[in-house]
Amino acid sequence: MSTYPIRFTVMTYNIWASTRWPERKEPLKQLLMFHQPDILCLQELRQETRDLIDAVLTGHQRIDDTFDGFLGEGNIYFSQALFEMVEYGAHDLQMYEQSRRLFWVRLRCRFAPNRTLFVSTAHYTSVGNPEEKAGGINPRFGQAQRTVAAFKQLTVDDEPLLFMGDLNDFVHPIRILREAGLTDSFSGLGRHTDFTHPASPTAKGTPQSIDWIFHRGAIAPMTSEVVDFFWEDLAPSDHKPVLATYRLI
């Protein structure tokens, strides 16, 4: 077993479904070629973008399952040189969107076979949902609570945990996750996040910090950034990805 620290890069990215595709194909391809994240958690995945990512990240594996959530909502890619899959699942968070889940995978570290890593991603319901727009409840409050409950059910002991995604919020869900012992990749370094939406020059709107990477257990961040990437005046998505480097401890 290697005596060197186990370090790897992690990216979370909402890739904007099929909007303005294939115009965004080359920017997304270039982003992935430049950064090559060891673990990539995706939201708003579609067949077109999945095919592109498969072609670019040839040394990676993803969850391959017939459930339409893995095909058209979220998925997790990971470097086969660093990790092997132990098990995976899709935990129901009772979201308004039928195929959205807490998508997760347990990975074994190839350079430390006795170590596993729990990686998960979710896309919480947007503030633009009809019920909330009409004055109803904020569904992300309950989705965050159910995420925490899922971790209690799915993880073991002090197993390193990563949770990331488009949380469509920067207030109560973040507080709930922090109160459950999770730390975001910026706070873990004594820093503040930048806004992750919208990605200029492709999208418009009020700047918001709604894409996050959280961790818990025997794992620590080394770097964290919101990647402001574009290719020939076009960003790959209306969101900016969050990219972090982690080490197992």
pLDDT at 3: 60
Give per-residue burial for 85-117: e unless 16+ CB within 10 Å, then b: beebbbbebebeeeebbbbbbbbebeeeeebbb
Which one of 3.90.230.10, 1.10.3720.10, 3.60.10.10, 3.40.50.980 gives the CATH number of domain 7-248?
3.60.10.10
Q: Domain map of the chain by residue range?
A: 7-248
Residue whose tokens read 């073991």: 156
pLDDT at 1: 45
Contacts of 195 (CB under 8 A, 6+ apart): 207, 208, 209, 226, 240
Mean pLDDT, the chain, as a whole number? 96
Q: What is the DSSP string of 168-201?
A: S-SSHHHHHHHHTT-EETTGGGT--PPP-BS-TT
pLDDT in tens, the chain (249 residues): 456 679 999 999 999 999 999 999 999 999 999 999 999 999 999 999 999 999 999 999 999 999 999 999 999 999 999 999 999 999 999 999 999 999 999 999 999 989 999 999 999 999 989 899 898 999 999 999 999 999 999 998 889 999 999 999 999 999 999 999 999 999 999 999 999 999 988 999 999 999 999 999 999 999 999 999 999 999 999 999 999 999 999
Q: What is the pLDDT of residues 98-145, one digit of tens each?
A: 999 999 999 999 999 899 999 999 999 999 898 998 989 999 999 999
